[in-house]
Amino acid sequence: MRLSSSSPRSRLSAGRLKVPAASRSRAAGRSWRGLSWVASVILFAVPVLLAAATFVLSRTPSTQAIAVTVLDQYTQAPIVNADVVAGEQLIQSNADGQAELQIGDEPLAVSVSAPGYGVAAGQLDRSSGSQSVTLRPTTVRGLVTETGTGRPIANVTVSMVTEAGVREVVTTGEDGSYQLANVPSGARLVVETSDHGTEERPIGHQQIDWSLSRAVVTGIVRDESGAAIAGAMVSTPDGTASTETDAEGAYRLNNLGTASEVLVRAPGYVDQQAAISETFQVDAAMEIERINAVYANFSTLVDPERFNVLVEIAETTEVNAIVIDVKQDTIYYDTQVPFFRDIPDLVIPVIDPVALNAELHAKGIYTIARVVVFKDPVVAEARPDLSVLDEVNGGLWRDMNGSAWVNAFYEELWAANADLAVELANLGFDEIQYDYIRFPSDGDLRTSDFGRDYTEEARRAAITGAVRMAYERLRPTGAKLSIDLFPIVVLFANDQGIGQTLQDLAPYADYVSLMIYPSHYELGNIPVDGHPNDFPRETVAYTLEQAEELVPGTKLKMRPWLQDFDYPVEGFMEYGPDEVRAQIEATEAAGASGWLLWNAAGRFQVEALAPRE
């Protein structure tokens, strides 16, 4: 800027005021001298002030407001009162989660934090514009309640789990609440309670509530008189969860899953299926069930007249069941089990199990499918790799009757027979009975080769394994499993070289059918004055007494085979209705849950049987 010195005199001279020339001369001189001093000062000061102002403006930075919005990483909800720090600025977010920062020319390091959350850090400059910052919750809290009732569940274990394992474990309070702090990224939560099972979730929220369905049913199982039933099985209908009652009849069934009913089973009682109540308390009063059966062999099954005689017996007497041969040397129905279908000449379908079961069930007759397991000569001939071998001649070992046996050590045989048992259950049989569930006994075993050490421990493990497999496979079907055992294993409490013991097998069978044929005992087997054949009542009573003593609490699992035939040995007493009846009465007096009459020809003495009530 330039100021001109003539400019003022020019303006002034343009005025209309008139004065004398001399006076004008003196006045003009005085005015200029005063004006010159002030003007000099002003003219000097203005540039200085302008320069100073320019200096100040150049040294004071301009600022820009930038809004930062703080959000929850999981919910995207605004976080109130989060601390936003930028240099010396500390601003807390408002109700909308927003904080306004002043940003100058230079970038600012900014950190954002909030109680219960991790820290976010970064840098802002004037070009950043409005920003959203998400914070990951590091504190997780919630409530655990019960589905349906909504009541809080106390003492629930809540675990924070990472890939490295459990980091922290807390339990819910009386109000069902819990809180976990310092939760790392990627962690998951696991809740566990004995009454509600276990659930797991990834952490995707600061507030994680749980509504748990009750996964346990409790109750008491009694008989009709109110007495507790120990050892009753309580399970889900599909068998995925099961337990047994204690000495007081009480039970606790865990891991219900989606089950809405429980199945209660006890040897000697009718199965009971009950709906799970809102209280998850299911008590059961069990009704006595006694199964009394006659036996139908192959020749009876293919002769309608003879079979109808058995049906009539079951309709008019205390007999209420029929044991039906389905596999002995050959299989008598059109099985679809691949293992057996691959054996030539094994399947000879002479019965229709579905039609047969429908007919008998319509008449109220309980059906038992008899399966001969390891005395399986047709399979043995076709599959020597699964058979007992003769170490002398290198061929198949044979018993005293010339029959080859399959080798009970092979689990492929266990599985094939278990498959057959399940198939029979699905075809309508109420019970599957395993016979010849043992190693061979009749023959010269000195030449036998079983492919491994033939010890009692190994034999028992094999037979128990085969029975257990069938028992577990059958459980979801609702059909029961019974096993035929030599009574000698009860009298001597060892496996008698065949792998059978009551103590091993009783836990894996619904019923045990000891083959108590007095004619087959030896002199001295029981404490009577003579051969057991002549003491049918005493033989049955003593054998069942020994069984209960050997494995207490199993009397209701006992359903013995009784003798309804004459044994062709000179001097042996013949068996008529009185001898058969004596065995029946001894069985009932011992507290067994029924009996089975054996006659290989399928002919029974009806006079020994009580009429149907």
Q: What is the domain partition of the chain in residue ranges? A: 64-135, 140-212, 220-282, 291-608
C-alpha of 425 from chain center: 23
Which residue is it, tokens 């004071």?
Answer: 60
Overall CATH class of domain 64-135: mainly beta
Which residue, 482, 374, 372, is CA-closest to 425? 482
Encode burial over 488-520: b for 16+ CB neighbours within 10 A, e otherwise: bbbbeeebbebbbbbebbbebbbbbbbbbbbbb
User: What pTM did the predictor assign?
Assistant: 0.72
Distance CA 124, CA 86 (A): 9
State the Cα–Cα distance between residues 194 and 362, nearest whole angstrom: 44
- The first and second tokens of residue 277, run together, are 């109540």
**For the residues of 104-130, what is the DSSP string, one character each?**
-SS-EEEEEE-TTB--EEEEE-TT--S
Return d(Cα 309, Cα 599) in angstroms, integer.
Answer: 14
Q: Which amino acid is at 447?
A: T
Residue 535: predicted pLDDT: 97
Q: Does an H or E element contain 22, and which?
A: helix 21-59
CB 328 within 8 A of CB 313: no
Q: What is the pLDDT of residue 59?
A: 44
Q: What is the pLDDT at residue 399?
A: 96
The amino acid occupying position 479 is A
Angle subtended at Cα 60 by Cα 55 and Cα 64, rounded to the nearest 5 degrees:
145
CA dihedral of 72, 74, 77, 78, whole degrees rounded to 10: 10
CB atoms within 10 A of CB 36: 11
State phi, psi for 159 to the nearest 5 degrees: -115, 135
Q: Measured between alpha carbons, how far is 606 from 313 in angstroms, rounded to an integer?
A: 7
Side-chain half-sphere CA neighbours of 14 within 13 A: 5
Structure token pair of residue 383: 């599959």
Q: Which residues of the chain have a pLDDT value below 50? A: 1-60
CB 137 within 8 A of CB 206: yes
What pLDDT does 31 receive?
A: 37
Cα–Cα distance measured from residue 188 to residue 186, given in angstroms and rounded to the nearest whole number: 7
Contacts of 70 (CB under 8 A, 6+ apart): 78, 79, 82, 84, 93, 97, 98, 99, 112, 114, 132, 133, 134, 135
The DSSP H or E segment spanning 482 is: strand 480-485
Q: What is the pLDDT of residue 61?
A: 58
What whole-number distance in Å separates Cα of residue 261 and Cα of residue 612?
Answer: 34
Quick one: which of 420, 458, 229, 410 has its CA closest to 338? 420
Alpha carbon distance 365, 317 (integer Å): 12
pLDDT of residue 125: 87
Q: Which residues pair with 143 in a beta bridge?
A: 177
Q: In this structure, what is the dihedral angle of CA atoms 219, 220, 224, 227, given to the nearest 10 degrees?
A: -170
Q: Phi/psi of residue 68, each to 5°? A: -115, 125
If you write DSSP's letter for every residue of 383-447 in order, what string do you get?
A: -GGGB-EETTTSSB-B-TTS-B-B-TT-HHHHHHHHHHHHHHHHTT-SEEEEES-S---SS-GGG
C-beta of residue 301 within 8 angstroms of C-beta of residue 605? no
Write down the pLDDT at residue 179. Answer: 94
Tokens matching residue 344: 């030539």
Same fold, 140-212 and 291-608: no
What are the Cα distances from residue 158, in Å, to 200, 272, 322?
10, 37, 55
Residue 208 Cα to chain centre, angstroms = 25
**CATH, domain 140-212, list 3.40.50.850, 3.20.20.80, 2.60.40.1120, 2.160.10.10:** 2.60.40.1120
**519 with 599: CB under 8 angstroms?**
no
Distance CA 560, CA 558 (A): 6
Instruction: For 291-608, give the CATH class.
Output: alpha beta
Q: Can you give the C-alpha Rg of the chain in angstroms? A: 48
pLDDT at 3: 22
What does the buried/exposed string (b/e) look like for 233-253 if buried means 16 or more CB atoms within 10 Å of the residue's CB? bbbbeebebbbebeeebebeb
β-pair type (157-162, 165-171): antiparallel
Q: Which two tokens stand for residue 447?
A: 């030449």
**Residue 430's closest CA among 584, 288, 271?**
271
CA torsion angle for 274, 275, 277, 278 (degrees, to 10)?
160
Residues 6+ apart with CB under 8 A from 305: none
Sequence-ordered list of residues with C-beta below 8 angstroms from that of 28, at least 6 positions apart, any chain: none
3-class secondary structure, 12: helix
Distance of alpha carbon 46 from alpha carbon 43, whole angstroms:
6
